[in-house]
Amino acid sequence: MWPRATPPRAWNGTGSTPHFSEIVLGRCFTYTQLLRPELGHADCGQIGKAFTNAFLSKDPCHSSEQDYQLLLKLTSQTIPCHSSVFWSKSTQLAHLYTRVRQDMFTLEDTLIGYIADGLNWCGDAGSYEMNYQSCPHWRKDCINNPVSVFWDTVSKRFAENACGEVQVVLNGSVSNTFDKNSASAYLNPHWPRRSVLNPVSSMNNTFGRVEIHNLHPGKVSVLKAWVMHDIGGVYSYHTCSSPIIDDLKFILSKRNISFTCEDDYRPIKFLQCV
């Protein structure tokens, strides 16, 4: 059917990361051979192929969870109970925490999260190639782009697999410590159409929109929230006593999951001084 007559459409987002396939392969080998050799059975060649097949030659505004199923299967990994760490607006601090606590895992400490973190990718329905020029921006072009759908899909699996006591590192120094509108956007029967209340910002909170709704009551006993302050922003916008945290507590209570909250949890606070 190809070569194509017209160049791929220009989107508003950054294009695919140069050397995407090589980076995916290299990260897969680094993770399975050096970081977590106990996972040595993972087939990095197959994982790399499944990743690119999920989006190449496809419309980058109609990506679906289904596209990533083989990749998910090839990267399945058992995380021990009591060791999952979620985060929102606190990427650096949460990852510093799990670097020190090697027994704890954020999504980016799992194989699939490690491979994809910080990368960008998309293809085009009319080409076998990746689009290195531009990719759909989730806000300006379309929500169902390959990167957003990927993170929603793997975040959902990460939450579904969590068990025992789980933790979330939240940023109390920003206004959107926890985005209640993200949560209601997910509960809205018209989802994934845009929320009428807050059409843009409500999309941008995977923890509130995807992860809390996919924790399994009965499997997860308690969510422990650590509300950290002074991670770039005003000192203390929200604390455990803020209504925004009550929203989180309420959503979890409806799902029969216990909730505790602590401001500036010392083992993490200590890392802010490092």
Binding site for ligand 2NF (CB under 6 A): 86-89, 91, 106-108, 117, 138, 147-148, 151, 155, 203-207, 211
* Type of residue found at 211: E
- Four-residue CA torsion sign, 115, 121, 124, 125: positive
SS3 166: strand
CB of 182 to ligand 2NF, least distance (A): 8
- Closest by CA to 163, choosing from 252, 76, 223, 241, is 223
SS3 14: strand
Distance CA 92, CA 72 (A): 25
Minimum CB distance to ligand 2NF smaller for 91 or for 221: 91
CB of 166 to ligand 2NF, least distance (A): 10
Minimum CB distance to ligand 2NF smaller for 7 or for 199: 199
Spatial contact of 194 and 229, defined as CB atoms under 8 Å apart = no
Minimum CB distance to ligand 2NF smaller for 32 or for 167: 167
CB of 67 to ligand 2NF, least distance (A): 15
Residue with tokens 């194989």: 111
CB of 106 to ligand 2NF, least distance (A): 6
Minimum CB distance to ligand 2NF smaller for 53 or for 91: 91
- Closest by CA to 129, choosing from 218, 246, 4, 268, is 4
Catalytic positions are 81, 163
212-216-217-222 Cα dihedral, nearest 10 degrees: -60
Distance CA 214, CA 163 (A): 11
Count the alpha carbons within 13 Å of 26 in the hemisphere toward its beta carbon.
5
CB of 84 to ligand 2NF, least distance (A): 9
Could you tell me the two tokens for 7? Answer: 């160049």
16-19-20-23 Cα dihedral, nearest 10 degrees: -150
Minimum CB distance to ligand 2NF smaller for 16 or for 88: 88
Could you tell me the two tokens for 36? Answer: 């977590």
CB of 2 to ligand 2NF, least distance (A): 29
